[in-house]
Each structure stands twice: as structure tokens, then as C-alpha cells.
Structure 1
Amino acid sequence: MRLLILLAAALLLTLCAPASTSLTPNPAFRQQQLRFERVRAAYMFHQTSLHQLLRRNGIRPERLELFVRAFKTGRRVEVWGREQDAGQFVLLRTYRLAGTSGTLGPKRRSGDRQIPEGFYHIDRFNPDSEYHLSLGLDYPNAADRRHAGPDPGGDIFLHGSNVTIGCLPITDAGIRELYVLAVEARAAGQPAIPVHIFPFDMTAENLARRVSSPHLAFWQSLAAGYQQFEDTHQLPRVGVDAQGAYAVE
């Protein structure tokens, strides 16, 4: 029985681990996105400057791997990149969250106005969004479903504009840049772009200030993944244990 439990835990960690950086390019995805007027406009305004940004950081656009993390406190969205198989991520851009809703703590039900907290990835591109352009997250994930009610909600996006009822708005100008970077990463072969959302910088000092919070145990499960990236600038391998807590390998 113990062996079966260990094998199950290993499987969970593997399923949630970052994908291999030996990726197959998918330039057809870029061409499909460029059929849309807003995407063409974003490329016209930002492709040259973003390619220059990548090259200044030692990243060939055709080998781009992307990572996004967001912080409610401080209202910032960081965009990190690296060249596939090239070690550490480097910070490329920081956008200000143009609007927030809810409070600190995870999203647990539809209509609670909460921005989720946890480890997600971009699973869809919307080139004709109500909020200019948008990138959808895989909320609710396995951890959310373990703790949420019968209707956890959904449709959580990084998007344009400055309004939100649970999403992450970074203005139209910000989403145009991020959308181009995300399309370039997908065209370079990255199938899923990780997005980590935290309530605040998950330092020991910040956690100690919130020892009376009902979310403390949940935040502690986020802290290991946060700290591993801080220490290594490489993506942590994150799974979900039998109790629905995040587990970092």
C-alpha cells in the first residue's frame, strides 16, 4: 500500500511538472493568430521591439520559453523568459495590474470576485476579447477543485482594460505586448505557459505577519514554489497531494 501511495504521489508531481524544453516549433499557430485584426495590430506595434528585447537577453525569438507570475499586493505582473534548454529565466517586463477585485486569499466559488492564487498555465488565446485581447488560465485546477464548492467559477483571464471581477487586467497596451510574447512562445513550441499567482511576495517575513490568517496553511503551500524560483530562476515542479495542497518536488 505504501508503495502505491508513493507511486501516486510521484505521478501527481509528474503530471503537474513543467514540460520538457525539447519542444517542436509550431509556426502555424502564429499564422492562425495573425488572421485577427487586433493581433496583427499588436505585432505591427510591438514585434520589432520585443524581438530586440529578447535578443538583448540572449534569447532567440524562435527558441522562446515564457513564464508569468502575478502578485496581488504591489499589483504587478512579471513576464520572464529564457531560451529553451538555456538555464535560468530572466525578467523581461513588469506590468502593473490596472485593476483588482476581492481580497487576499484563493478563489473558491463563482461570483466571489476573487482573483485565484496558485499555479496555473495559459490554456487558450482569445484574439477577439471583450477586453481587447486575453489569455485564459486553467482555473479551476486540481487544487481548486479539491477545496471549492460545487460551482468554483471559471473564465479567468489575463486581459486588457482596467476593470475586473476576478481576472488580471494589464491595460490594452500591456496585453498587446504580452499577447505577442505568448504567441511567439507557442510558435516556438511551448505548449503551456506557466502562470503563478501569489497574494504577496511569499517571504518568511510576509508570512509571519499573517499568522492569524485562515489562509496561512494554503499560503505556506505556495511559498515553496515561490522560493524555489527565487533561488534558482528555474520553474519548480509542482503537484497536488491527496489533501489538495500544492506539493513542490
Structure 2
Amino acid sequence: MGMIAFPKPTARKVIRLAGALALAALLAGCQSGDEYVAFGPKHLREVRPAIKAKFTELKMDARSPILIRIFKEESTLEVWKQNREGRFALLETFEICKWSGELGPKVKEGDRQAPEGFYEITPGLMNPNSSYHLAFNMGFPNAYDRSHNRTGTHLMVHGACSSRGCYAMTDPQIEDIYALARDSFKGGQRSFQVQAFPFRMTAENMARHNDSPHMDFWRMLKVGYDHFEVTKQTPKIDVCEKQYVFNATPLMANVPFRATAQCPAYEVPQAIRVAVEAKQKKDAEAFQVAMANIREEAEREQRAKERAAMIAAIVNPKFGSDDKPEEAAQDAPAEPATAEAPAGAPAAPGSTGGVFASLFASKPAQTPVAAEQAPGQPAETVASTAAATPPASPAAADVTATAFAPEAQAAEQKPGFFKRWLSFGSSEEEDATPPQVDLTTVATAPKVKP
């Protein structure tokens, strides 16, 4: 019996085999870490290995139930997954690519608002054939929304990073989220809950948004937020009297909750109720502290604005004046004629210092001038010298500061912003008629002998 002869591999076949092995190695490398590339139908792809690795770390089964929380202001979507102890733990945090509208609930079709509230996602709401890669419908409007006559359709969490009232993710993100939801349904979860909040419901954030018209609605959402925070269990959601109620059980059997009807008598498990009340008490104290800090910051900002206005008024006296530009120009004091100072008389300090010098420099003592006529001195010179002598009374001293302004114009001048803040030379103090200075006489008077 002869041996069967096998054909020897040709060089071409060897090259093909080597290329196939190299490609397999390359694909294996691509499927590790953040460079993972998935293959196959998009709705059947597995979650990334990086997420799978967390199952072991967090003691989770691949098909255990999930829960999703959304925070608009933080642009964050969280996927929580039940561990083997029956509590939910944070598995993965995704950055929302886009969400439309503003903080606040969706009210009507076409307002482009993304929903806020509590929604149950069943397998029938999953869409593997979405025009936005993959998607699941949020189930808007729910019982609460319908009780308030809110309208809207096709509100989704989907891929393609494009939003018109939805929460849009990137395609790789929605593949992971979709796979986690799909596997939880395979594990027996009949629906998973989506909790959509305007922001993380902390005391500080509640204080920061305290003036919002949506605050009553958000306080109600915070109760459900607190139930999950203290239990790490999916809260049971019902609606009665057009309000959400959480983890409530009617005291009478066969008496259901109806969204628009009066709430039946119900109870919340004591352990949950006590834990929620303790959290809310702590949050209320933190809220008061946060509000006090906000008020203090607002007062600091107001004081800073007032100081800035005062400085601006000093630098520019016309700043904030009630006078019109034409009136301000007319009210400006006339430039005094240059007069020859008596020999030996000290120069007035601050004469070139501007407004700041007049504000902060102390006035020097005035050099007394004899009122009596010196021997050999002309009478008109004595008169002009006496007129320039500072008056003895304080009121007259204030008048001297404005002696070079025309008398009639100074009397009619309306005090502007600058004079209201800096009251020197005010008109109330000018009870006496200011002495007229004969500029011509002063300019031509002979020098006073020392």
C-alpha cells in the first residue's frame, strides 16, 4: 500500500498564510485598550474590553440589571450595574456629546427640550435600526408628563452626536450603552430606569439655581435622587395627584396609584424613609450655608461696583453727572487770569496737583496781610490786597476756593455727581457774597515790600 503524497506549498500560499496571521495579530491588538475596534452587526457587538474588565473588579455579572442617570449641566451619562450583593455600583461614565434646549423639563412638541424625570425602558423601546446608529426611546411622555398635558415624540438616547430634543452620544459610546442594556434584558431584567436630572442634586447646586422657575419640579426630582443615593437600589416610581412618589406601597390592597387622582394612603419602608429624611436634613443645612455664601458674594460684588463708580467719578468728574454735555461745558469754571503774586508770598501747594492733590493735600497756613495802608502805598493797591486776604470765617474760607469763578454762574451752577460725592465748596456754605477780586488791579499793582 503506497503512501499518499501531499502537494508541497507554493511560495504564494506561504505568503498568503503569513499575511493572514499578521492580520489576525493586528486585529487582536486593536481589540485591546482604548483602540478597540468592534466587528459584526452594530446591535450585536460586545462591550469594550476595558468595560468588561470592570465586571470582575466590581463583582458584577455580565447580564446583571443596569440603571442610567443623566445630568444635563454636567453633560454626563452614568451607567450603573447591579453587583452580586444586589446593590448598584457605578460602572461607566460617558460624556454626552450633545443635548438640546436648556435646563428644565420638556413641555411640548417642538420646544427642543430634552426630557427630565424618571423613565422606564423596555426591550420594545430599543432601536437597532436607528438612523442615528443605535438608539433607545426614553418613553416620553410618561404618566407624570401626561398628567401635565406635556407632548412630544421620539425622544431618544442615540448616536451620531446630533440632537433635537434628545441626548446624543458618539457612535462608540452608544454601542457600549446599547450592549449593556441588551445583555441586561438577556439576564432577565424586564426594564431599566433612566433618571434624567438638570444637574447633580446637591445642596450647593440647588442653592445656585434657587431662583429658577423650575425649582419646585426639581425639588420633587431630588426626592427620587435621594432614594437612590441612600439605597443604591432602583426606586419604585408611581404618580398620583400629578406628582412623583417613590418606593410607596398603598395601605389598602387593590387601590392603585392614579396620576391625576388623589393619592391613596401609602407607606414607605421605614429604613428607606429614615435614611432619606436624614440625608434631606443634612442637605437642608448645607443649603442654608450655600445660600449665605451666595448672598455674601453678591454683596461683595455690589460693593466693588460702588467703589469702581466712585473712583471713576474722581478721575472723571463728569462721570455719572446728571448734566447734559452742553450744560456741563457751560458750568465749567472759567480759566483765571494769571496774576502776579506778591513778592515773598509762598506758592499755593497743590496748584498743579490736580483733583487728587486737592483731595488729600492739607491746606497751608495763609500769610496774613496787613489791612492798613502801608506808608507810601497806593490806596487802590491796599484795597486789592485786602480783597485777596482770606476771610476769617470758615464759610468765607470755603468761598475762596471758588473765588475765580463768575459770581452769577457759580450761584446758578447745578451740583453734579462729583460735587455730590466731594462736598467741598458746596453752595450751601456760601451764605456770604464772595468778595470780587479786581484782576486788573492785582495784575498791575506794585510788589509789596517785605
Match of 1:37 in 2: 41
Letter in 2 for 1:132: H
Matched pairs, number? 206
Q: Secondary structure at the match of 1:224?
A: helix
Q: Within 1, Cα distance between the matches of 2:41 and 2:173?
A: 17
Match of 1:76 in 2: 76
Match of 1:95 in 2: 94
Q: In the alignment, is residue 158 of structure 1 matched against residue 162 of structure 2?
A: no
Q: Within 1, Cα distance between the matches of 2:187 and 2:49?
A: 17
Match of 2:56 in 1: 55
Match of 1:220 in 2: 219
Q: Secondary structure at the match of 2:134?
A: strand
Deviation of residue 47 (structure 1)?
5.9
The structure having more radius of gyration, on CA atoms, is 2
1:123-170 Cα offsets, whole Å, 9 max, x none, are 311111111011111110011111134xx0121111112110111111
| C-alpha RMSD over aligned residues | 1.7
Q: Within 1, Cα distance between the matches of 2:57 and 2:225?
A: 26
Match of 1:143 in 2: 144
Match of 2:128 in 1: 127
Q: Within 2, Cα distance between the matches of 1:122 and 1:162?
A: 21
Match of 1:33 in 2: none
Deviation of residue 177 (structure 1)?
0.5
Does structure 2 retain, via aligned residues, the 8 Å contact 1:67–1:193?
Answer: yes
Match of 1:17 in 2: none
Letter in 2 for 1:99: K
Q: Within 1, Cα distance between the matches of 2:127 and 2:145?
A: 23
| Higher strand fraction (1 or 2) | 1
Q: In the alignment, is residue 109 of structure 1 matched against residue 108 of structure 2?
A: yes
Deviation of residue 82 (structure 1)?
0.9
Match of 1:205 in 2: 204
Q: Within 2, Cα distance between the matches of 1:158 and 1:100?
A: 10
Does structure 2 retain, via aligned residues, the 8 Å contact 1:229–1:236?
Answer: yes
Q: Within 1, Cα distance between the matches of 2:156 and 2:121?
A: 9
Q: Within 2, Cα distance between the matches of 1:82 and 1:196?
A: 16
Match of 1:21 in 2: none
Length-normalised TM-score, structure 1 = 0.78
Match of 1:9 in 2: none
1:87-125 Cα offsets, whole Å, 9 max, x none, are 321111111110121111100110000000000022311
Match of 2:240 in 1: 241
Q: Within 2, Cα distance between the matches of 1:51 and 1:209?
A: 38
Structure 1 unmatched runs, 5+: 1-35
Structure 2 unmatched runs, 5+: 1-39, 248-450
1:155-212 Cα offsets, whole Å, 9 max, x none, are 1111112110111111101000011101100000101010000000112222222222
Match of 1:183 in 2: 182
Length-normalised TM-score, structure 2 = 0.44
Q: Within 2, Cα distance between the matches of 1:174 and 1:180?
A: 10
Does structure 1 retain, via aligned residues, the 8 Å contact 2:100–2:167?
Answer: no
Q: Within 1, Cα distance between the matches of 2:98 and 2:82?
A: 28
Does structure 1 retain, via aligned residues, the 8 Å contact 2:58–2:83?
Answer: no
Letter in 1 for 2:43: V
Kindly, what percent of the aligned residue pairs are identical? Answer: 38
Higher RCO (C-alpha 8 Å, min separation 6):
1
Quick check: 130-139 or 71-80, which moved more? 130-139
Match of 2:313 in 1: none
Deviation of residue 51 (structure 1)?
3.5
| Higher helix fraction (1 or 2) | 2
Q: Within 1, Cα distance between the matches of 2:142 and 2:167?
A: 17
Q: Secondary structure at the match of 2:69?
A: strand
1:27-83 Cα offsets, whole Å, 9 max, x none, are xxxxxxxxx82223x22xx36554432222111224x11000000001000000014
Deviation of residue 248 (structure 1)?
2.0
Q: Within 2, Cα distance between the matches of 1:47 and 1:201?
A: 27
Letter in 2 for 1:246: Y
Q: Secondary structure at the match of 2:113?
A: coil
Q: Within 2, Cα distance between the matches of 1:131 and 1:216?
A: 33
Letter in 1 for 2:141: P
Does structure 2 retain, via aligned residues, the 8 Å contact 1:47–1:180?
Answer: no
